[in-house]
């Protein structure tokens, strides 16, 4: 699954650590999501979307397969 | 209330983890220092080691999020799949007549699981420099 997390985070000028703190996860988890190594659970995906005030489909996009 | 319970849980897990690692370090030191290679001595050592390694793996991390849970489950599944044939292969090579004990099997499994978990966690923490530069340039 593709995501715009890095782009949205950069727009807010937050570090990975700052974003991790806001989402109550570790910095490694944020990096794993940004590098698309890990797809977050639905509750975490909603939390991310809510934090950036975006609809969930504007943050996450399924692979075109 | 929930956050204070959570904080106590994190503190308790951290203390127990330190105790587990201290117990393991002490048992390794005692086993090596005694130079006693009697099977009963090894059995006692492997029991303590298995308890320490299991505690070290299962106790919660400082930030215990869903990625940690997912990696731990994956590491444990793969570790078991590797340890099982490894133990079967190692068993005939040993000079002892009795088979590998459950504690020894747990030690092998937990060592592999801990190694895999920390390797993946280290990989997760590595920055994606290409991606970061792309964002900076836009």
**Euclidean distance between CA atoms B49 and B24, whole angstroms:** 6
- The pLDDT of residue A39: 94
User: How many residue pairs from chains A and B have C-beta atoms closer than 8 A?
Assistant: 47
- Containing H/E element for B33? helix B2-34
Average of per-residue pLDDT across A14-37: 94
Higher-pLDDT residue of B74 and B135 is B74
pTM of the predicted structure, to 2 decimals: 0.81
Q: What is the pLDDT of residue B11?
A: 85
> Could you tell me if residue A63 is inside a domain?
no
In chain B, residues 82-121 whose CB comes closer than 8 Å to chain A: 121
- Residue B132 with chain A: CB contacts under 8 Å: 6
Please indicate, yes or no, if residue A59 is contained in any of the structural domains. Answer: no
| Domain presence at residue A44 | yes
- Here the tokens at position B125 are 């923490």
A→B interface, C-beta within 8 Å: 6-7, 10, 20, 24-29, 31-32, 34-35, 37-38, 40-41, 44
Residue A13 lies in a domain: yes
In a domain, A60, yes or no: no
Spatial distance between the Cα atoms of A39 and A60, rounded to a whole number of angstroms: 9
The residues near A37 (Cβ < 8 Å, ≥ 6 apart) are: B123, B124
| Domain hosting residue A31, numbered range | 2-53
Count CA atoms closer than 13 A to A26's CA, side-chain side. Answer: 17
pLDDT in tens, B1-54: 666 777 788 888 888 888 888 888 888 888 888 777 776 777 788 888 999 999
ipTM of the complex as predicted? 0.86
Residue A25 in domain? yes
Q: Do A40 and B70 touch (CB under 8 A)?
A: no
CATH code (residue A11): 1.10.260.40
Quote the minimal CA–CA distance from A60 to chain B in Å. Answer: 17
Does residue B98 surpass a pLDDT of 80? no
Domain-located, residue A61: no
Note the pLDDT of residue B1. Answer: 64
Q: According to the model, what pLDDT value does residue A65 have?
A: 63
**Residue A43 domain flag:** yes
Distance from CA of B72 to the nearest CA of A (A): 13
What domain count does chain A have? 1
Which residue of A26, A34, A37 is in closest CB contact with B65? A26
Under 8 Å between Cβ of B63 and B39:
no
Could you say which of A10, A24, A38 has the minimum Cβ distance to residue B67? A38
Of A24, A25, A34, the CB nearest to B131: A34
Phi and psi, residue A60, nearest 5°? -115, 140
| Yes or no, beta carbons of A38 and B70 under 8 Å apart | yes
């Amino acid at each position: 699954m593709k995501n715009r997390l890095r782009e949205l985070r950069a727009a807010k000028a937050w570090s990975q650590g700052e974003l991790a703190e806001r989402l109550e996860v570790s910095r490694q988890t944020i990096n794993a999501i940004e590098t698309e190594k890990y797809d977050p659970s639905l509750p975490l995906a909603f939390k991310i979307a809510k934090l950036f005030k975006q609809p969930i489909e504007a943050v996450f996009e399924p692979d075109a397969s | 209330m929930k956050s204070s319970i959570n904080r106590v849980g994190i503190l308790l897990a951290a203390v127990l983890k330190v105790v587990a690692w201290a117990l393991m370090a002490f048992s390794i030191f005692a086993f090596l220092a005694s130079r006693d290679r009697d099977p009963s001595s090894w059995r006692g050592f492997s029991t303590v080691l298995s308890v320490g390694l299991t505690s070290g793996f299962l106790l919660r991390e400082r930030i215990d999020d869903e990625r940690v849970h997912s990696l731990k489950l994956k590491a444990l599944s793969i570790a078991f799949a590797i340890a099982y044939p490894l133990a079967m292969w190692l068993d005939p090579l040993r000079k002892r007549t009795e088979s590998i004990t459950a504690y020894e099997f747990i030690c092998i499994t937990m060592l592999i699981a801990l190694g895999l978990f920390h390797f993946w966690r280290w990989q997760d923490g590595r920055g994606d420099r290409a991606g970061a530069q792309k964002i900076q340039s836009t």
